[in-house]
Amino acid sequence: MVILMGLAALASADDESASRGVLVLRPGVSIVDVAARYDLVPVGSIPSRDMHLVTFPIGMDGPTFEGLSIDPDIEDAEVEYDSGDPGPGGQSLFLAGTFADFVAQPVWSHLGIRGAQQSSTGLGVVVAIVDSGVDHTHPGLDGAVIPGGFDFVDGDTDPSEVANGIDENDSGVADEMYGHGTFAAGIVHLVAPDASILPVRVMDADGISTSFLVAQGIFHAIDAGAQVINVSMGTFGESQIISLAVEEAKEAGVLVVASSGNHGTTEPLFPATFSPVIATTALGFDDVRPGFAAYGEHIDVGAPGVDLVSLIPGDAYARTDGTSYAAPLVSGGAALVFSIAPESTSAFRLRLDATSIPVDAINPGDVGLLGSGRIMIDGLVSWWPICDADLNGDGEANIFDVVLYLSRFDASDDRADLNDDGAFDIFDVLEYVARLEACP
């Protein structure tokens, strides 16, 4: 067996010891000029977004670097967040599996996947896997992987998984993340067999990544035409550059799905906690939250994250646990929906809310902390509201929906933030009124 971190987590860099950071410049400002001004050394960039990775000069620490944001040429400055293990609960095991296990696993019936595939197979939808790479030669992916991916770790156009046999993060295990991205891609392909997989490598086989790499990956996925972006990793630091990437995805009509984390607490992990993202936690097949699965008020939905079977490099199959693999079930479900009903993030949330199976009663200690419950993919695909204001999905937009919306608004429920700006204000109410007036 191979030890695998169930979720790659970017640990917030120690501001006092940070040595690299990211500058977001105002349009038209030269990184060469700004770097010379502060004795910084550019080492990477996202030119189309005016974002630049730089190293600090001797004597500059993290807080000082972030203080550069007072410069009118600089829109934002933040230290680069490094990778790390979120805790013992973040570890799971890759156990041997087979193709027969893959096609017969209980998740098929538990989420109604076969029924959903009678209506949609995800044709025409591109799902980006922002992860450790994908083994595009695996026969289980059956030609689903498309060109256009990128490897931001090695800086080349081959986003395959790479193992070097070296324990580069001193975890005691070499290449513990090898297979992470391929496993996630296999789950998406299981749910949406005709969706296209776009691999974007931002993490190495030891789980080493940075906030800059993750942002690069999300921006690349947007530019490459992804409609769904799966991010089975996160950071405990509230990275502004990842937030900007997520916001741009939302504005482009791209759905971002992220794992909640395997640290087993309510501590928020980003990007899952950012409001436009579909934050996904793990549930057992009994709908009980496993102890490793992070939870909280920011969670949108749960999906099976225990004893899942999928693909790993080398034409092999394996089984494991983790919120990293619950998220691709949701991404696959989104691909099925978008194939037949392209819609906004807020509309997809409405669909999730109306069709998920509540699990609060089974998890009395987690009431209100597991989102709308367990995703039901067949219901997700078949549900058709009369309009966006039909919150309870009963085929009518009426006073019951108004009362439901106002109750969510009063409770500062994320589902009431209709413009996804993180605030609950009159603009959300006006948006709901507009949706109501647009109903037949």
Task: Report residue 86's pLDDT band, with 50, 70 and 90 as the boundaries.
Answer: very low
Shared domain for 54 and 155, answered yes or no, is no
User: Is residue 324 annotated as a catalytic residue, yes or no?
Assistant: yes
On whether both 408 and 373 belong to a single domain, the answer is no
Are residues 189 and 174 part of one domain? yes
Catalytic-residue membership of 131 = yes
263 and 238 fall within a common domain: yes
In order of 290, 301, 322, 378, 394, the CA distances from 359 in angstroms are: 13, 10, 18, 18, 21
Task: Spot the catalytic one: 12, 132, 324, 339.
Answer: 324
Q: Is 90 exceeded by the pLDDT of residue 286?
A: yes
CB 8 within 8 A of CB 231: no
Q: 431: closest CA among 390, 378, 395, 388?
A: 388
Instruction: Say if residue 92's pLDDT is above 60.
Output: no
**Among the three residues 79, 101, 123, which one is the final residue of a domain in this structure?**
79
Q: Using the 3D structure, point to which of 79, 112, 127 is the last residue of a domain.
A: 79
Q: Is residue 13 part of a domain?
A: no
Chain segment 153-174, per-residue pLDDT in tens:
999 999 988 877 766 666 667 6
Per the structure, how many domains does the chain have?
3
Quick check: is 7 in a domain?
no
- Does residue 279 form part of some domain? yes
| Length of the chain as a residue count | 440
Q: Do 48 and 137 lie in a common domain?
A: no
**Scanning the structure block, which residue is given the tokens 């989104």?**
334
Q: Which region among 15-24, 268-277, 311-320, 427-436 has the lowest average model confidence (pLDDT)? A: 15-24
- On average, the pLDDT of the chain sits at 87
State whether 147 and 213 are in the same domain.
yes
71 and 112: one domain?
no
Structural domain includes residue 14: no
- CATH code for position 342: 3.40.50.200
Q: Tell whether 273 and 309 lie within a shared domain.
A: yes
Residues 33 and 113 in one domain: no
Catalytic residue among 85, 131, 204, 366: 131
Whether 180 is catalytic: yes
In this structure, are residues 117 and 379 in contact, taking their beta carbons and an 8 Å threshold?
no
Kindly state whether residue 5 falls inside one of the protein's structural domains: no
Q: Which of helix, strand or coil describes residue 228?
A: strand
**Helix residue ranges per DSSP H, 39-76:** 62-66
Task: Please say whether the beta carbons of 380 and 255 come within 8 A.
Answer: no
Distance CA 413, CA 70 (A): 34
Give pLDDT, residue 202. 94
Per the structure, the complete domain to which residue 337 belongs is given by 86-378
Residue 112 sits in the same domain as residue 153: yes
Would residue 149 count as lying in a domain?
Answer: yes
* Domain identity same for 369 and 404: no
Q: Which of 177, 186, 181, 179 is nearest to 102 (CA)?
A: 186
Instruction: From the candidates 52, 110, 138, 180, give the one annotated as an active-site residue.
Output: 180
Strand partners, 22: 53, 78
Residue 1: inside a domain, yes or no?
Answer: no
Number of C-beta neighbours around residue 277 at 10 A: 26
In this structure, which long-range contacts are made by residues 41-49, counting pairs with CB atoms below 8 Å and at least 24 apart in sequence? 44/212, 46/215, 46/216, 46/219, 48/219, 48/223, 49/24, 49/219, 49/244
Per-residue pLDDT at 22: 96
CATH number at residue 40: 3.30.70.80
Give per-residue pLDDT as tens, 385-421. 667 788 876 777 889 889 999 998 998 887 888 887 8
The residue from 53, 79, 105 where one domain ends is 79
The first and second tokens of residue 290, run together, are 């496993």
Q: How far apart are CA 140 and CA 180, in angstroms?
A: 15
CB count in 10 Å sphere of residue 209? 28
Residue 345 in any domain: the answer is yes
Phi first, then psi, for residue 359 (nearest 5°) are -125, 5
Q: Domain check: are 321 and 416 in the same one? A: no
